[in-house]
Structure formats: C-alpha cells, structure tokens
Amino acid sequence: MRFIDLEGQQAVDFLCYNAHDTRDRYNAANTMKMAENVFINAGTVLYGEYATELMRITASSSPNHNTIGGCCSVEMNFIRYGRRTHSCRANFIHELSKFEMGESDIVSNVNFFMSVPVGQDGHMAISESPSKAGDFVDVVALVDVIAVISNCPQKYNPACGYSPSPVQVETYARKQ
C-alpha cells in the first residue's frame, strides 16, 4: 500500500490485524522494541501481538512516523479542547465493524505523517509535521492482513496542521 499526503501535514491513523487471527493485531511496544526506536521509518517492521511480522515499511519520503501518540477520540478531544468532534477512534470503530470487530479491537496505532518528538527529559507532544505535499509511505504486507485507516479529522492540535486535508491510498497486488 502507498499512502500519499496530498497537501502535506496530514496524519493517517493506521491499524493492521493478521487476517487469519485478528487477536494477532498491531503491537506498538513489540514494534518499538524490535526497531530499538520509537519512530517508524523505512525498514521498520510492524509486529503483531504474537510477535508476527505483519507489515514492513519499505519506503518513506517523510521521516519519523509516530506510534506513541495513539489516535484522537471524542473523549480526549473533549478533555483537551472542550469540544465534541469527529475522531479517528470513531472512524476506526466504523471501519472495524465491517470485519466484525469493534472498540475492544482498537490498540495503540501508527500515525503516518504525524510528528511526536521525544525530548531528552522525556517530554513528548504532537508537533508540526515535516510532511510536505506529495510525501508518501509504502507499506508491504508480510502475511494476509486486515488494514484500516482513519484520515485524521483533528483541527485542534498540529497533527494535521490544524486543517485536515485529503490523502490518497493506493493498493498493489503482491508480486508472485
């Protein structure tokens, strides 16, 4: 799959599941431990709950995709910004319902193009993304997966540059 940030600074929230056993879903901690890094870049393998290699990032024109910040939700937006909003969590629930999954299947996810730098003192915060118009990330499935995305509708922090915009998703058949 290729995700293209058409206008720049647009977070794409992403989850994947082993299609043969959806309990074996993306595991951010396993992924960071194996990468020895909190950021996702070209070469990073996305590991599952059972340490399965689910997917691999094969190319990325934008650095340091996030996997520690999680997705936005109605509840978090309300306590942080005092507003009830659209959210990635609601989008995930909607998409997962197509695969007989639901809110208990949502785990800490990947946010392509979202920037959450971590300081020496451990400080972390969503900050302005370096992603520019046309930046892309390529992700290859290593087993059969169910992959769901939410094009983040966040307007109240810099995840999407305060102005959510379209992304393009391209899918390609595996080379035999």
Backbone dihedral region for residue 82 (phi beyond 0: left; psi -120 to 50: alpha; all else: beta) = left
Minimal distance, residue 13 CB to Zn ion, in Å: 5
**Edge-to-edge order in the sheet of strand 45-47:** 45-47, 53-60, 135-141, 2-5, 167-170
Rounded Cα gap, residues 129 and 132, in angstroms = 8
Using rule CB under 5 A, residue 88 touches Zn ion: yes
Rounded Cα gap, residues 39 and 47, in angstroms = 14
* Residues 50-79 contacting Zn ion, CB under 5 A: 72
Minimal distance, residue 84 CB to Zn ion, in Å: 14
User: Which positions from 105 to 144 touch Zn ion by CB under 5 A, shown as an x/- string?
Assistant: ----------------------------------------
Smaller CB distance to Zn ion: residue 50 or 78? 78
Half-sphere exposure of 124 (CA within 13 A, CB side): 13
Smaller CB distance to Zn ion: residue 88 or 141? 88
Using rule CB under 5 A, residue 32 touches Zn ion: no
Rounded Cα gap, residues 12 and 167, in angstroms = 8
Smaller CB distance to Zn ion: residue 46 or 152? 152
> Contact residues for Zn ion (CB under 5 A)?
72, 88, 152, 154
